[in-house]
A = this chain, B = another copy of it.
Amino acid sequence: MNRKEQIREIAQTMFRERGYAATSMRDLATAVGIEAASLYNHIKSKEDLLKEICFDCADEFFEGIHKAKTAPMAPDAQLSLAIKEHIQVVANNLDGSAVFLHEWRFLTEPYLSEFKAKRKYYRLQFQQIIEKGISEGIFKPVDAKVYSLSILSALNWIYDWYKPEGELSPQALAAQFSYLILEGLNK
């Protein structure tokens, strides 16, 4: 891992723990083990660091949803796969996901608009899977927008309580999520 990657890893963790605005470049430099001024030999600016974290994480989510969306499966299996892929991205990168989900708002234009557009596109993929399931008659005729928002909302909070060292694997968690969403709680 070169110094730039190291800076980014540590920044991810600090941005997650304290928030982007409350993390100073001096704090970051100290954690890395260099002087604040030296950071700028590796990065352009504080915001550039945030931008890279947010957009790289977005790419990971996109890869997952593309896999689910193009898989030759029925919509229920596609939805399960999309959930599994999403949870895997989060579980593999808890800090990056948390920054992606909460710190993006400190981006400035033009990145802010670009980021929002990506985020919306991602949600629409979930909505489309649900709509396909409804039109094929395997899902109940629900409000696909509200459902996609609700599902992603539940998924988006995982970084907040998921413990990688716990006994619940990402796969087991994904299976429970799919079951919850597809089958419901009632017997």
Chain B positions within 8 Å of A146 at CB level = 168, 173, 176
- A21-B22, A156-B157 known; A180-B176 Cβ under 8 A: no
- A22-B106, A187-B140 known; A149-B176 Cβ under 8 A: no
A185 and B181 form a contact (CB under 8 A): yes
Asked if A19 is an interface residue, CB under 8 A from chain B, the answer is yes
Please classify the interface of chain A as helix (H, G, I), strand (E, B), loop, or mixed, using the class held by over half of its residues.
Answer: helix
Asked if A92 is an interface residue, CB under 8 A from chain B, the answer is no
| Cβ-neighbour of A184 out of B18, B106, B180 (below 8 A) | B180
| Cβ-neighbour of A186 out of B19, B105, B155, B183 (below 8 A) | B183
Q: For residue A102, which residue of chain B has the nearest CB?
A: B102
Which residues in chain A, 28-81, are within 8 Å of chain B measured between CB atoms? 76, 79
Give 21 CB contacts A-B under 8 Å.
A19-B19, A130-B185, A133-B185, A137-B187, A138-B186, A140-B185, A142-B180, A142-B185, A143-B176, A146-B168, A146-B173, A150-B154, A150-B176, A152-B157, A153-B154, A153-B160, A154-B154, A154-B157, A181-B184, A183-B186, A184-B185
> Which 10 residue pairs of A and B lie closest in terms of their CB atoms, listed nearest first?
A184-B184, A153-B157, A21-B22, A154-B154, A21-B21, A183-B184, A153-B154, A150-B154, A182-B186, A139-B185
